[in-house]
Chain A
Amino acid sequence: QAGLTQPPSVSKALRQTATLTCTGNNRNIGNQGAAWLQQYQGHPPRLLSDRNNNRPSGVSERFSASRSGNIASLTVTGLQPEDEADYYCSAWDSSLNAWVFGGGTKLTVL
């Protein structure tokens, strides 16, 4: 199953804003939205935003998700050292009847 496309890495300075992107097509992100997960090295992933762009309880308001057409974005404001992690997007593909993942973006806070 074809996956979603994410940049392998993004680097931004402390307290700046980072925007991570995830590109799909009109059978997944375009009509189903995308979820975002955060994963620290050696830990399980954690949902940051569901495919309706809702944050689960406990997720900082500094994380916000959006979508424009077939591209989903995760914006992280006021970057903190603890935001350094891998970020994955995922979407249900209504044509494949499958969840598809992006390859992940490693966010580095400088």
Chain B
Amino acid sequence: EVQLVESGGGLVQPGGSLRLSCAASGFTFTSFWMTWARQAPGKGLEWVATVNHDGRDKYYVDSLKGRFTISRDNAKNSVYLQMNSLRAEDTAVYYCARDIDVRGQGTTVTVSS
């Protein structure tokens, strides 16, 4: 069974940092590009970042470039999202996806003082 389990969310002050993790299982991890997407309260889905099979190619939504970094560790079947200089508007549930297949419950990030 395909499983994606996100972790690392929480409450952080504006300007702070968080590192989200996503543990994958049940499929050949190296066969898939991996994606982070998010959903702010009451809003639709928003793509955040994608990393290719070997982690060399990374793509970001324009508004987040320079603050967020996606990475993967194929030895650990995991993908990560390092989030720096967090702002109130980054408050959302963050989902990990295999391609665009969201399987997890997400992890909630709240940016507030």
Contacts and interface: CB of A to CB of B under 8 A. Distances in A.
Most buried by A among B45, B50, B102, B105: B45
Contact of A88 (B44, B50, B106): B44
B99 interface: yes
B47 A44 contact: no
A47 B102 contact: yes
A46 B47 contact: no
- SS of B interface (majority): strand
B89 interface: no
A47 B44 contact: no
Contacts of A104: 44-45
A96 to B, nearest CB: 9
Interface string B63-99: 0000000000000000000000000000001010001
Given A50-B99, A90-B100, A98-B59, A44 B105 contact: yes
B101 interface: yes
Interface of B: 35, 37, 44-47, 50, 59, 61-62, 93, 95, 99-102, 104-106
Contact of A99 (B62, B93, B100): B100
Interface of A: 1, 35, 37, 39, 44-47, 50-51, 56, 86, 88, 90, 92, 97-104
Contact of B101 (A50, A88, A97, A101): A50
B95 A44 contact: yes
Contacts of A100: 47
A101 B95 contact: no
